[in-house]
Structure 1
Amino acid sequence: MSSDTLARRIARYACNLSINDIPEPVIACVRRRFVDSLACILGAYGAAPVKSAIALARATPLPASTVFGTRLRTTPELAAFANGVMLRFLDYNDGYMGLEPGHPSDNITACLALAEAEGATGCELITAIVVAYEIQMRLQDAASLNKRGWDHVNYINVAMAAAASRLLKLDETSTEQAINIALSSHLTLRQVRSGTLSDWKGCSAANAARNAIFSANLAQHGMTGPAPVFEGEMGFFKQVSGAFELDVESFGNRGNGTFAILRSLTKTFPTNGELHTAVWAALDLRAQIADLDAIASIDIETSEFNCRVLADTPEKWRPSTRETADHSLPYNVARALLDGDITLDSYSPEKIADPLAIALMSNTQVSEDPELTGLFPRHLANRVRVTLKTGEEVVSEMIGGPGSLETPMSDADFERKFRRMATPHIDQAAQQRVLHFVADLQQQTDYQALFDAMFPELSAPH
């Protein structure tokens, strides 16, 4: 077996990165993404898919890894799945758009589950998270999967297998095998995000992370996987992604390149990231329109990606599920015009069935603007044009917004988001304990205090 396969080079990077190679601004970014992820988890407490995942985990008790919001401990794989479902449910966690979209924070809960089970230190956890972000985001930059009918979570197979191997302290050879097993055996179809979107839209990434941990555990015990998994005659390049180049030597470390995590984007609305600027544009227009009944038509000019993914099927124009609504460009523009915000309540059954929103969507058109496509993926731009019944037009174009590289969210922004999601479930003292824990993440050697603080007490406000 060649020692120069892409899987081997990725494995080498995962094994060799040291906490000493990671500069403080990157560690600070990990802390922010951690707080952001915890906010998303709290906001998902009680959701139906979360209840299903917890019920599955409850059937396999094991004193290894804790499920958030419960006193349950289970296997790392099942905890990674349940906690990952919580993280992803609201579509509120961070994201990144290269040639392929994705949510690198989907790896955080899986890294935490394995770190708890293995007794890993906070520094080891941080390093594993950086490894996962670096690999997933570089793969997202390298090749589009969705255009070929495959889902972005296939890149989690690689990133999380490498991060899990790091936490299990596997060597380069075994880490390569973990990647081989994870990628070859757990490919996900793009149908997960097409048509009417189901519960699985928010579970697919958690499942990829779970499978990656399982693959690393197999490699730890000597299992080998199909190789070369990328370059082989029946491998990933020829069957899934098409050929691409990945310069692993340029990955972030002390001597080369910058760390990809610094390019990840965060969300101010609990919805698809590529349509955030359309929401901002709609909010801008709402302030200029005295009477929404005066709207004759809405034209949304956007990128090729948004046309193809967020306004592509009849279901996006008449959503019936939360998962479809939060990936519908016309619905989110209509809802922002009606309510002046996008919140968790924007995707309630009552809001989705709202005749006023349906009426606005029926008078909406979505079209590609090649100039906006040209800005993509560096800028996730949208333009909203409203024509009033008088014939007057009002237009708003947004190139970026809060959470973008140009206007990143601050520590105070992340704290506000966390407290907003936390307040219905845990009291102020518990919130403070969580924030202090994350602030000292490098010094942590045990994670029980975090899970205790995230447990919803009966005395918490509701």
Structure 2
Amino acid sequence: MPKQESTMVEQLADWTHDIKWDDLSEEAIAALKGRMLDSIGCAIGALEGEPVKAIRKMTEDLGGAPLVTLIGGGKATPDYATFHNGAAIRYLDFNDSYLAKDETGHPSDNIAPVLAAAEYADADGRDFLTALAIAYQVQCRLSDVAPVRNHGFDHTVQGEYGAAAGAARAMGLNSKQIANAIAIAGTGYNSLRVTRTGELSNWKGLAYPNTAMGAVHATLLANYGITGPREVFEGNKGLMDSIAGQFEIDWAKEDLERVTDTIIKRYNAEIHSQSSIEGILELRDRENIKAHDIKEIRLTTFDVAYNIIGGGEEGSKKIIRYKEEADHSLPYMLSAAYLDGNVMPEQYEPDRINQDDIQQLLQKVHVKPSEEYSDRFPDEMACRIEIETNDGRIFDIEKRDYQGFKTQPASWEVLMEKYNGLTQKIDNKLAGEIANTIRNLENVKINELTALLGQIKIREDESL
């Protein structure tokens, strides 16, 4: 019987299985550890969020074999732990991003599934980091060549392939099993873009954790011998035919460097807002204009920012009632930055959102796209901000990037400042041990890190 020609998912599986730790550059290793520090900080800072607490209660109520650590204590099955830990990493909307021309995702959403699979398999830090780099590479490269946002689907579509590839590698599956895990996940978790349009809900922060949970479930199924469609990419009614259109990737030629192109958020705000927030803060500090003297704030930005968070294709951004709407609204985030001098988790507390000063100022913010700035994206995050005062004076500033963008990458020291701010409510010594373990991750077993994550407790008295 003649041998079948390998399909794209099988080529991806062979690459996932064969690529090695030694294929990672020092820059990629440093970036992976930086993304880990950043994301674990985000998770710790989110443990008191109501959706995260609700998911923990559900996980505790429904039970399951105590195999994998929950951040904040307790254990669950690998897939349930993925959902909880992924929700914690994602809830603040403060983790990293990858900017493709027509797609933006958050590849650190892959940390939860890869971490769960690695702990389940008793993997070491090198195994984990290699698997995480694979997840990053797959999601980012598919975002490059197979964007789906304009077809009505969410960026989690590319993520399902990355999460499954990373989890399957971390779990030590063979090439055939890896292909089945990716194929099952790729067939089963094609989320709709309505997740991030119109009136936003808790699901905005939970869509990827759900996809990641499914990817780990698919990996477990493949480990037990369940098969998936070999032609998930190129077959009849596969990804290309149904959603993304034709694309090509020669997986055998891929490296593990795409993580170095991801960017860190300086502010707790949707990624495309970062340069405009930095700009309005610089303008605020430079001119010292009182908020009540402002007639209008006018932002000119690139089309992706306008369409997602500026009032373009994905709906009005001036009716703001709760966090999920606030952190995807340029009018709200610019107003918060101007009034409070920063955009951090406290700017999304219900009491802050509903105060008159911010509700009134955000109505004065007007956003429009620029073809020039759009052409410069994603290499730049160009924008121009004008503040017009009630007496007719106009003050402006132009930005092309921000601290944390790929032109100004965040150092470990900068990431530690953010991490320390997000972990103030846990034991300082424990927070330091977690950071040090992450920095030395290639030299430890992954269960040494998860044991520390399981010890996290939020202090009741914030003044301690």
Q: Normalising by structure 2, what TM-score?
A: 0.94
1:128-147 superposed matches below 5 A: 128-147=131-150
* Matches of 2:302 and 2:193, distance apart in 1: 19
- 1:81 corresponding residue in structure 2: 83
- Give the superposition deviation at 1:413: 0.9
- 2:419 corresponding residue in structure 1: 418
Change (3 A) 1:372 1:81: same
**Contact 2:113–2:215 (8 Å) recurs in 1:** no
- Give the superposition deviation at 1:54: 0.9
**Contact 2:120–2:171 (8 Å) recurs in 1:** no
- Give the superposition deviation at 1:453: 4.6
Change (3 A) 1:458 1:318: closer
Matched, 1:112 2:115: yes
* Matches of 2:329 and 2:63, distance apart in 1: 37
- Give the superposition deviation at 1:452: 4.3
**Contact 1:434–1:454 (8 Å) recurs in 2:** no
Report the AA paired with residue 93 of structure 1: N
- 2:237 corresponding residue in structure 1: 234
- 1:256 corresponding residue in structure 2: none
Tell me, what secondary structure is at the counterpart of 2:213? Answer: helix
Report the AA paired with residue 293 of structure 1: H
- For residue 43 of structure 1, the aligned residue among 38, 42, 45 is 45
- Give the superposition deviation at 1:227: 3.2
Deviations 1:201-238 (A, max 9, x none): 11111111110011111112221112311111211112
- Give the superposition deviation at 1:420: 0.9
- 2:291 corresponding residue in structure 1: 292
* Matches of 1:298 and 1:357, distance apart in 2: 13
Report the AA paired with residue 286 of structure 1: R
**Contact 2:72–2:455 (8 Å) recurs in 1:** no
Change (3 A) 1:364 1:459: closer
Tell me, what secondary structure is at the counterpart of 1:63? Answer: coil
- 2:306 corresponding residue in structure 1: 307
1:245-260 superposed matches below 5 A: 245-252=248-255, 259-260=257-258
- 1:268 corresponding residue in structure 2: 266
* Matches of 2:4 and 2:416, distance apart in 1: 48
Change (3 A) 1:252 1:314: closer
Change (3 A) 1:194 1:2: farther
- 1:154 corresponding residue in structure 2: 157
- 2:328 corresponding residue in structure 1: 327
- Give the superposition deviation at 1:457: 5.9
1:43-442 superposed matches below 5 A: 43-58=45-60, 59-70=62-73, 72-98=74-100, 99-252=102-255, 259-287=257-285, 288-312=287-311, 315-424=316-425, 426-442=426-442
Larger mean Cα displacement after TM superposition, 343-352 or 184-193:
343-352
- Give the superposition deviation at 1:451: 2.1
- Give the superposition deviation at 1:458: 6.7
Report the AA paired with residue 274 of structure 2: H
Report the AA paired with residue 269 of structure 1: Y
Report the AA paired with residue 432 of structure 2: Q
- Give the superposition deviation at 1:134: 0.8
Tell me, what secondary structure is at the counterpart of 2:94? Answer: coil
Tell me, what secondary structure is at the counterpart of 1:62? Answer: coil
* Matches of 1:327 and 1:246, distance apart in 2: 32
Q: Normalising by structure 1, what TM-score?
A: 0.95
Deviations 1:27-54 (A, max 9, x none): 1211111111111011101111111211
Tell me, what secondary structure is at the counterpart of 1:341? Answer: coil
- Give the superposition deviation at 1:12: 1.4
Report the AA paired with residue 338 of structure 2: L
- Give the superposition deviation at 1:459: 8.4
- Give the superposition deviation at 1:348: 1.4
- Give the superposition deviation at 1:62: 1.8
* Matches of 2:90 and 2:382, distance apart in 1: 23
* Matches of 1:219 and 1:15, distance apart in 2: 14
Change (3 A) 1:452 1:55: closer
**Contact 1:433–1:453 (8 Å) recurs in 2:** no
**Contact 2:9–2:233 (8 Å) recurs in 1:** yes
**Contact 1:434–1:453 (8 Å) recurs in 2:** no
Tell me, what secondary structure is at the counterpart of 1:327? Answer: coil
* Matches of 2:150 and 2:432, distance apart in 1: 44
Larger mean Cα displacement after TM superposition, 10-19 or 443-452:
443-452
Deviations 1:166-214 (A, max 9, x none): 1222222221111111111111000110111111111111111110011
- Give the superposition deviation at 1:455: 3.6
**Contact 1:196–1:320 (8 Å) recurs in 2:** no
Report the AA paired with residue 91 of structure 1: D
**Cα RMSD over matched residues?**
1.7
**Contact 1:78–1:210 (8 Å) recurs in 2:** yes
**Contact 1:186–1:208 (8 Å) recurs in 2:** yes
Tell me, what secondary structure is at the counterpart of 2:153? Answer: coil
- Give the superposition deviation at 1:2: 4.8
Change (3 A) 1:314 1:142: closer
- 2:452 corresponding residue in structure 1: 450
* Matches of 1:247 and 1:314, distance apart in 2: 37
Tell me, what secondary structure is at the counterpart of 2:160? Answer: helix
Report the AA paired with residue 158 of structure 2: Y
Change (3 A) 1:266 1:182: same
* Matches of 1:44 and 1:224, distance apart in 2: 36
- Give the superposition deviation at 1:114: 1.5
**Contact 1:427–1:461 (8 Å) recurs in 2:** no
Report the AA paired with residue 43 of structure 1: G
Report the AA paired with residue 272 of structure 1: E
Q: Which structure 2 segments of 5+ residues have no match?
A: none
